[in-house]
C-alpha cells in the first residue's frame, strides 16, 4: 500500500464517530466515549465510518481477498481483514480468536424443502465459540481494552455469554454474565464456566437480565458487551462483506436471519448499506427476520404496519409492544423486548424484506432437514429455513431467486433438543389465551432415533436393509 493510501485507510477508522440513529436528534459523539445509548435522547447509537475517505482507496476488494492468504493475526481474522471499515486505528490492541471466515454451503435438501431451486447456508456456527457472536465480540472486547475497562458484562440466552467469556479470557479481563436461570442450554453454560466467567444465574428471564445490565451502565470500570453496544455491530457487519466476497460480489436476492435481540439483522443491514454506499455493490439484498411464534414482538409490530409505513424511508414507530412471557424451545431467541428492534426494522424496510413468525413444529422439522444436508445448527438458526418455506409459499420469495440463510449457532450448542426430537420426546409448553399451561408434543417428520442392534454382522446388514 502506498503511504498516502495507507494513511487514508487508517484515517477512516480514527475519524469515525458514534451517532444517535434517531433522525430528529442525530447527536454525534467521539468513538472513545464510553456510552451505549444517546446521552441526549436515549436513542440507539451507531458508528459512522467516513466512507467518502475510503472511496479514494483503490482495490479494496482485492486487498481484503489477499489478506485471507496472509499469516498476520489481523489478516487471519475474518473481521479484522476488513479493518478499513472498523472504528480502530492500526495500533489497536486487537483481541482475536481468528473469528469469521465461515463456510457458505450449498444445501440442496433444505432448498427443496423450502420450495427453492437452490439455497445457500452461511454457517456462523463455525466460529471459535460456535456462534455468530464471535464476530462482534472481537471488536467489543478490543474496545473494552482501549477504554481500560476492568470487567466486561452481558445478559445472555447463552451464546453471547460463551463468546464474551472466551474473548475476555484472551484479553485477561474479568467477565460477568447474567443468565436467566434454568433457561439456557447446558452446553452453552458449560462453555462460559470453562472460559472462567463469573456466571450469575438470575431468577427471571432474558429481558430481566437485560434490564439489570442497563443499571450497570454507569459503572466506569464495567463495559457492556450486549449488542446495544455499537462496537459489537461493527464486527458483526463484516459478515455481509465476507458473504458478498463468497458470492463473487453478486448480491443475493434475499438474506434471511433469525431475530432475537436484533443485533444480527441490524449489523447485516449496516454492512450491506456500507457496501452500497462505497459503490462495491449496486443494490441491496432483501433482509428478512424470522421469529418464533411465542417470542415475536417485531413480527407482531410488522404485521400491524400500514402500507404507507412499510416504505423504504418510512419513519420508524416510537414503541414496540414487548411480549411479557416469551416462549420457545429455541432458547437463543426467547426474547420479549429486543433492544435493537429499531435498527433491525430499518434494515428490513430499507431492503423491502419481511418479519414473520414460524411455529415450534416448523423450527424442529427445518432443523432436521438442515441436518440431512450434513450441516448441523441449533434450533434458533433453523427458523431461517422454516421462514423461507413460509415466504416461498406466500410468493414473497420465488423459487429461482438467490437466497442465503444465516445459521447462527452450531448443532452441538443444544444437543438435548436434537436428541429429544429424534427420539420423539420433544414437547413444548405454552399458555392458552385463558391462562392455562398446556404441553404439546413436537412430532418429528424427519425423526432418526437410534435402534438396538444385536452384536453381529447379519443384524447390522438387516438393519441397513430395513432402512434403504
Ligand atoms: N441465533 C442464535 C444462535 C443466538 O444465540 C441469537 C441470540 C440469535 C440467533 C438472535 O440474534 O439477538 O442478534 O437477533 N442470542 C443472544 C445471546 C441473545 O444472548 O446469546 P439477535
Tens digit of pLDDT for each residue in 201-247? 999 999 999 999 999 999 999 999 999 999 999 999 999 999 999 99
pLDDT for 314 equals 85
Three-class secondary structure of residue 333 per DSSP: helix
Residues having CB within 6 Å of any atom of ligand 1: 131, 156-160, 227, 258-265, 332-333, 378, 380-381, 408-409
Q: Which helix (H) or strand (E) segment is 368 a member of?
A: helix 360-372
Question: What average pLDDT does range 281-300 have in this prediction?
Answer: 98
* Nearest residue (CA) to ligand 1, atom 15: 332
What backbone torsions phi and psi does residue 50 show, to the nearest 5 degrees?
-70, 85
Largest Cα–Cα distance of the chain, in whole Å?
75
pLDDT at 8: 66
pLDDT band per the 50, 70, 90 thresholds, residue 3: low
For a mutational test of ligand 1's pocket, the pick from 140, 264, 268, i.e. the residue with the most ligand atoms closer than 8 A to its C-beta, is 264
Residue 24 Cα, ligand 1 centroid: separation in angstroms?
30
Lowest mean pLDDT among 107-121, 127-141, 288-302, 309-323: 309-323
22 Rama class: left (phi>0) / alpha (psi -120 to 50) / beta: beta
User: Which atom of ligand 1 approaches the CA of 259 most closely?
Assistant: 14
Ligand 1 centroid–CA 335 distance in Å is 9
**Mean per-residue pLDDT of the chain:** 95
- Compute the distance between CA of residue 30 and CA of residue 147 in angstroms, rounded to an integer: 12
Degrees, nearest 5: CA angle 208-231-138? 95
Q: Which ligand 1 atom is nearest residue 289's CA?
A: 14
Residue of the CA atom closest to atom 7 of ligand 1: 332
Residue 429 burial class via C-beta count within 10 angstroms: exposed 0-12, middle 13-18, buried 19 and up:
exposed
Tell which atom from ligand 1 comes closest to the C-alpha of 257.
9
What value, to the nearest 5°, has the Cα angle with vertex 54 and ends 49 and 57? 160
Closest atom, ligand 1, to C-alpha of 381: 1
Q: What is the pLDDT of residue 56?
A: 80
- The CA 260 to ligand 1 mean position distance, Å, reads 5
User: What percent of the chain lies above the pLDDT cut of 90?
Assistant: 91
**Residue whose C-alpha cell is 486487498:** 63
Question: Tens of pLDDT along 424-437?
Answer: 999 999 888 888 99
Output the pTM of the full model: 0.96
Distance 79 CA to ligand 1 centre (A): 19
**Distance, CA of 117 to CA of 127 (rounded, Å):** 28
Residue nearest to atom 6 of ligand 1 (CA): 332
**Burial of 174 (C-beta count, 10 Å sphere; 0-12/13-18/19+):** middle
Q: Which of 261, 328, 344 to mutate for ligand 1's pocket (most ligand atoms within 8 Å of CB)?
A: 261
3-state secondary structure of 103: coil
- pLDDT, tens digit, for every residue of 149-189? 999 999 999 999 999 999 999 999 999 999 999 999 999 99
d(CA 59, CA 64): 9
Confirm if 414 and 157 have CB atoms less than 8 A apart. no
CA distances from 199 to 194, 226, 420 (A): 11, 15, 27
Amino acid at each position: 500500500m502506498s503511504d498516502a493510501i495507507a494513511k487514508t485507510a487508517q484515517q477512516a477508522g480514527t475519524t469515525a464517530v458514534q451517532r444517535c440513529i434517531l433522525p430528529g436528534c442525530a447527536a454525534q459523539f467521539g468513538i472513545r466515549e464510553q456510552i451505549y445509548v444517546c446521552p441526549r435522547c436515549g436513542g440507539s447509537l451507531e458508528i459512522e465510518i467516513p466512507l467518502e475517505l475510503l472511496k479514494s482507496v483503490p482495490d479494496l476488494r482485492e486487498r481484503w481477498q489477499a489478506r485471507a492468504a496472509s499469516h498476520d493475526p489481523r489478516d487471519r481474522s475474518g473481521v479484522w481483514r476488513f479493518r478499513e471499515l472498523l472504528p480502530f486505528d492500526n495500533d489497536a490492541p486487537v483481541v482475536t480468536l481468528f473469528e469469521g471466515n465461515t463456510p457458505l454451503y450449498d444445501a440442496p435438501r433444505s432448498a427443496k424443502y423450502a420450495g427453492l431451486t437452490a439455497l445457500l447456508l452461511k454457517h456462523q456456527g463455525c466460529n471459535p465459540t460456535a456462534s455468530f457472536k464471535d464476530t462482534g465480540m472481537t471488536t467489543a472486547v478490543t474496545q473494552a481494552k482501549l477504554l481500560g475497562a476492568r470487567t466486561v458484562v452481558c445478559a445472555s440466552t447463552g451464546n453471547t455469554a460463551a463468546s464474551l467469556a472466551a474473548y475476555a479470557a484472551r484479553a485477561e479481563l474479568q467477565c460477568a454474565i447474567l443468565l436467566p436461570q434454568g433457561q439456557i442450554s447446558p452446553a452453552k453454560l458449560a462453555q462460559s464456566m470453562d472460559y472462567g466467567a463469573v456466571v450469575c444465574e438470575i431468577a427471571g428471564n432474558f429481558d430481566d437480565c437485560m434490564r439489570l445490565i442497563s443499571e450497570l451502565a454507569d459503572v466506569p470500570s464495567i463495559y457492556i458487551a450486549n449488542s446495544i453496544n455499537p462496537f459489537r455491530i461493527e464486527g458483526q457487519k463484516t459478515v455481509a462483506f465476507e458473504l458478498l466476497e463468497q458470492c463473487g460480489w453478486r448480491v443475493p436476492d434475499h438474506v434471511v436471519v433469525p431475530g432475537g435481540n436484533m443485533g444480527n439483522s441490524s449489523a447485516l443491514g449496516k454492512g450491506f448499506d456500507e457496501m452500497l454506499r462505497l459503490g462495491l455493490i449496486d443494490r441491496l439484498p432483501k433482509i428478512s427476520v424470522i421469529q418464533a411464534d411465542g417470542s415475536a414482538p417485531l413480527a407482531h409490530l410488522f404485521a400491524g404496519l400500514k402500507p404507507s409505513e412499510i416504505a423504504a424511508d418510512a419513519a420508524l414507530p416510537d414503541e414496540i409492544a414487548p411480549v411479557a412471557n416469551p416462549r420457545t424451545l429455541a432458547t437463543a431467541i426467547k426474547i420479549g423486548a429486543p433492544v435493537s428492534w429499531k435498527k433491525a426494522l430499518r434494515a428490513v424496510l430499507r431492503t423491502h424484506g419481511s418479519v414473520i413468525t414460524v411455529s415450534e413444529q416448523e423450527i424442529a422439522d427445518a432443523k432436521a432437514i438442515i441436518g440431512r444436508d450434513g450441516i448441523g445448527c441449533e434450533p434458533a438458526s433453523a427458523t431461517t429455513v422454516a421462514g423461507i418455506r413460509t415466504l416461498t409459499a406466500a410468493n414473497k420469495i420465488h423459487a429461482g431467486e438467490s437466497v442465503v440463510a444465516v445459521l447462527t449457532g452450531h448443532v452441538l450448542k443444544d444437543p438435548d433438543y436434537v436428541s429429544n426430537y429424534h427420539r420423539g420426546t420433544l414437547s413444548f409448553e405454552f399458555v392458552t389465551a385463558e391462562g392455562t399451561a398446556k404441553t404439546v408434543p413436537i412430532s418429528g417428520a424427519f425423526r432418526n432415533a437410534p435402534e438396538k442392534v444385536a452384536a453381529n454382522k447379519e443384524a447390522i446388514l438387516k438393519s441397513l436393509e430395513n432402512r434403504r
